[in-house]
Amino acid sequence: MTRQYDSRTLRTPVGMLRVTASDDGVVAVDRVSRAGTKRGSAAARRHTERAARELREYFAGKRTNFTVSLDLKGTPFQQRAWAAMRKIPYGKTIS
């Protein structure tokens, strides 16, 4: 079965962002130079809509955490790195 992806772009204070999701959750948030939308399944669309809403709230100063589901694929090292980054509290920087 072919995976379906839904994507949408939104304007933010850091430029145009494209949110892409599968049926299982958000797979990517990328900076892009132009707007565009690709319609996928209803499940994937729910994830992109929720992520876009949460990003707008974040940039408006109304959100400090995200609840949208993620569908991250990567090597074991990447998975560990992403898990460690998710533990960094809002507003804190770590090097």
Structural tokens at position 33: 């130079």
What average pLDDT values come out for the chain (95 residues) when binned by 10 residues?
88 95 96 87 94 96 94 95 92 89
Q: How far is CA 45 from CA 14, 16, 36, 52, 77, in A?
A: 23, 19, 14, 10, 29
- Identify the pLDDT of residue 3: 83
- Identify the pLDDT of residue 24: 95
CB 90 within 8 A of CB 64: yes
| CATH 3.40.1190.20 for domain 6-86 | no
Domain boundaries, the chain: 6-86
- Identify the pLDDT of residue 1: 67
